[in-house]
Amino acid sequence: MSRAAEILESVFGYTSFRGEQQAVIDTLVAGEDALVLMPTGGGKSLCYQIPALLREGCGVVISPLIALMQDQVDAMCLVGVKAAYLNSTLSPGQEQEVIDALLRDELDLLYVAPERLNQEHTLALLARCRLALFAIDEAHCVSQWGHDFRADYLELSRLHQAFPDVPRIALTATADQRTRQEIAMRLQLEQARHFISSFDRPNIRYRISLKQSGRQQLLKFLKREHRGDAGIIYCMSRNKTEETANWLQAQGFDALAYHAGLDSRTRSDHLHRFLREEGVIVVATIAFGMGIDKPDVRFVAHLDLPKTIESYYQETGRAGRDGEAADAWMLYGLQDVIKLRQMMAGSGGSEEHKRAEQHRLNALLGLCEISSCRRQALLAYFGEELAQPCGNCDNCLQAPATWDATEPARKALSVTYRTEQRFGVNHLIDVLRGANSDKIFQFGHQHLASYGIGKELESKQWRSVFRQLVARGYLSVDLDRFGALRLEEKCRALLRGEETLELRQDVAEKSVRQQTKVALAPDIDIALWEALRECRREFAEEQGVPPYVIFHDSTLQAMCLELPRELEGFAQLGGVGERKLDKYGPAFLAVINRHFDDSDTLAPPQQEPPSLITES
């Protein structure tokens, strides 16, 4: 067994490396640089933690989020790794202790914020220490314009000059090639070995549905599939996050709002509760997210469309970092499209910038409207090919029906044209359906050839046609007139009869048969599961860390399935290293053994796990 594999097992309690981890570790141990692109949850941390343990000296981890350093350091200390951090939250005395430990070569890992690292006295301090490596986490910060941490990240290129012999590893979960190239260039990592992993997150189930009664749809989703689970709900506006959180509270959920407009106390309190407690839902704008590495987020819901596929991928990627089943669930409707197009038009910037944004929005709408595998489309967008449909997205689970919408589409386009491209979708539908509204008489639209030619479809079906015509770029939303639809060049072929059009049949969400999530294996004894969780909760509280830092759900689940009765068996469970075995093994074993004794005498009837109970 290699030394790296020994550490993986004895310290972290895992039996095998994932993906490229081993190769990355070997590269660093050999003293070479690495650039690592791995999706969220892929296991980036081990890529520098293990080399830091194998190489002499201390590994310096540069991470922008000081709020998370405490948890990272706590998690390391629990497995017996000597870790500390330097940031502004330390008192002068605490800081001196860390510095002393560093100078005595007692630390395996030191977490530092970039602005701190760039200070001359920090660099001077590091120059006096033995250093194992530099790990630059969230390395995409270096490339994103307007990123809060960009200036500090750009300065990190100095590390290479100041410490030419210390290997560096840059890590990011941002997928696109441009970002990757820029990281390599800015951080002088062109010579580094690049490790690019697949960006697939197979445990995330992608689902996109038509927005009808947003809240009720959300409620049903939560009640049926995610009772008691931690999750994130994204909304477009601050107001909506607060309204939604309040409403969910009234429905009995532990929901908290999070947006940039809240004062910092409230924000950090909500973040803290999300991380420390179980089953908390955060309703947020995009201000919430970066670096939230809570592994057991079971769902990410979008009540409004994100702006691009990149944001969608990043936001949904916060679900299921622990590799267990998780849902990415999104609602979208015509109004979202119109709103986003308008926001984009009003956003300033050059024509070229606007065109690029437009293009990215179109790609997102394409993802919403496709009837084939969502994962294939998502990965294709990032230049990755998935040979087979995934079997774990809504379209794979139940192929959506399509219909020949050529004729209705022509009618929709022609009514748009005949009303001089000055009206929004509601009025156009009224004309098609021959309604008697004031507006129709005001503009004399009852005399148009299009008037009343669309009675064969209901309003709802017409909305679906218009939405898909906009999403596919046949119609655009007029930016100067609120919501007015306009014909696009692409219409010609369809209007001339040279092209036919298949559209997705909108279905009410409930008829899309979803397998409910099985977070717990079906044969788990729920009483034991709860008892183990209680034991974990007590340790977590006592030590002031989030429960998952003690053991992940998957480790608790393994306890329920393997039912070890002695330390030897307990040590075999995934996620149990030597330190945790000593520290927690006896207590958890006692819970298991007590459970056996109880069930021998009482033989309680097996209850069904709560997450398997579905409403009919």
Q: Point out which residues bind ligand ADP (CB under 6 A).
A: 14, 17-18, 21, 38, 40-46, 293, 295, 321-322, 552
- Tell me which residue of 551, 563, 555, 576 sits closest to 525, measured CA to CA: 563
Report whether 344 contacts 357 (CB < 8 A). Answer: yes
Residue type, 584: Y
Minimum distance of ligand ADP from residue 126's CB (angstroms)? 24
The CB-nearest residue to ligand ADP is 43
* Cα 356 to Cα 377: distance, rounded to the nearest angstrom: 19
Residue nearer to ligand ADP on the CB measure, 118 or 174 = 174
Q: Give the range of 185-193, 386-394, 433-441, 501-509 binding Zn ion by CB under 5 A.
A: 386-394
367 forms part of the interface with Zn ion (CB under 5 A): no
* Cα 525 to Cα 528: distance, rounded to the nearest angstrom: 5
Residue nearer to ligand ADP on the CB measure, 44 or 270 = 44
Helix (H) or strand (E) holding 531: helix 526-543
Say which DSSP state 294 is in.
Answer: -
Q: Give the range of 41-49, 164-172, 354-362, 387-395 binding Zn ion by CB under 5 A.
A: 387-395
Read off the tokens for 441.
Answer: 């008489």
* Cα 245 to Cα 303: distance, rounded to the nearest angstrom: 12
Q: Which residues contact 500 (CB under 8 A, 6 or more apart)?
A: 404, 406, 494
204 forms part of the interface with Zn ion (CB under 5 A): no
Minimum distance of ligand ADP from residue 296's CB (angstroms)? 9
Among 396, 477, 519, 559, binds Zn ion (CB under 5 A): 396
Q: Which does 390 bind (CB under 5 to 8 A by kind): ligand ADP, Zn ion, none?
A: Zn ion
86 forms part of the interface with Zn ion (CB under 5 A): no
Minimum distance of ligand ADP from residue 127's CB (angstroms)? 29
Residue nearer to ligand ADP on the CB measure, 167 or 317 = 317
Q: Give the range of 247-255, 337-345, 384-392, 482-490 binding Zn ion by CB under 5 A.
A: 384-392
Q: Give the range of 147-155, 287-295, 375-383, 608-616 binding Zn ion by CB under 5 A.
A: 375-383
Minimum distance of ligand ADP from residue 145's CB (angstroms)? 24
Residue nearer to ligand ADP on the CB measure, 46 or 576 = 46
Among 4, 208, 361, 393, binds Zn ion (CB under 5 A): 393
Tell me the number of residues near Zn ion by CB under 5 A. 6
Q: Which does 373 bind (CB under 5 to 8 A by kind): ligand ADP, Zn ion, none?
A: Zn ion
For strands 168-172 and 204-210, give the pairing.
unpaired
Read off the tokens for 358.
Answer: 């437009």
Q: Give the range of 239-247, 385-393, 547-555, 604-612 binding Zn ion by CB under 5 A.
A: 385-393
Helix (H, G, I), strand (E, B) or coil at 258: strand
Q: Which does 18 bind (CB under 5 to 8 A by kind): Zn ion, ligand ADP, none?
A: ligand ADP
375 forms part of the interface with Zn ion (CB under 5 A): yes
Helix (H, G, I), strand (E, B) or coil at 243: helix
Q: What b-and-e string marks burial along 444-478, b requiring 16 or more CB atoms within 10 Å of the CB?
A: ebeebebbebbeebeeebbbbbbbbbbbbebbbbb
Minimum distance of ligand ADP from residue 137's CB (angstroms)? 8
Residue type, 432: L
Kindly report the CA angle at 292 between 145 and 369, in degrees rounded to 5?
A: 70
* Cα 455 to Cα 435: distance, rounded to the nearest angstrom: 10
Residue nearer to ligand ADP on the CB measure, 231 or 320 = 320
* Cα 47 to Cα 51: distance, rounded to the nearest angstrom: 7
Residue nearer to Zn ion on the CB measure, 270 or 375 = 375
Residue nearer to Zn ion on the CB measure, 69 or 367 = 367
Residue nearer to Zn ion on the CB measure, 28 or 393 = 393
Minimum distance of ligand ADP from residue 328's CB (angstroms)? 16
Minimum distance of ligand ADP from residue 96's CB (angstroms)? 30
Residue nearer to ligand ADP on the CB measure, 142 or 503 = 142
Helix (H, G, I), strand (E, B) or coil at 393: strand
Where do runs of H (alpha helix) occur along 142-285? Answer: 150-154, 158-162, 177-186, 214-225, 238-250, 264-276
Minimum distance of Zn ion from residue 206's CB (angstroms)? 7
For strands 131-136 and 58-62, give the pairing.
parallel
Residue nearer to Zn ion on the CB measure, 94 or 372 = 372
Helix (H, G, I), strand (E, B) or coil at 260: coil
Q: Which does 293 bind (CB under 5 to 8 A by kind): Zn ion, ligand ADP, none?
A: ligand ADP
Q: Which does 396 bind (CB under 5 to 8 A by kind): ligand ADP, Zn ion, none?
A: Zn ion
Q: Which does 40 bind (CB under 5 to 8 A by kind): Zn ion, ligand ADP, none?
A: ligand ADP
Minimum distance of ligand ADP from residue 553's CB (angstroms)? 10
Minimum distance of ligand ADP from residue 159's CB (angstroms)? 21
Q: Which does 321 bind (CB under 5 to 8 A by kind): Zn ion, ligand ADP, none?
A: ligand ADP
Minimum distance of ligand ADP from residue 270's CB (angstroms)? 22
378 forms part of the interface with Zn ion (CB under 5 A): no
HEC-encoded secondary structure of 108-140? CEEEECHHHHCCHHHHHHHHCCCEEEEEECCHH
Kindly report the CA angle at 593 between 588 and 594, in degrees rounded to 5?
A: 95
Identify the sign of the CA torsion 99, 105, 106, 108.
Answer: positive
* Cα 354 to Cα 341: distance, rounded to the nearest angstrom: 10
Contact positions toward Zn ion, by CB under 5 A? Answer: 373, 375, 389-390, 393, 396
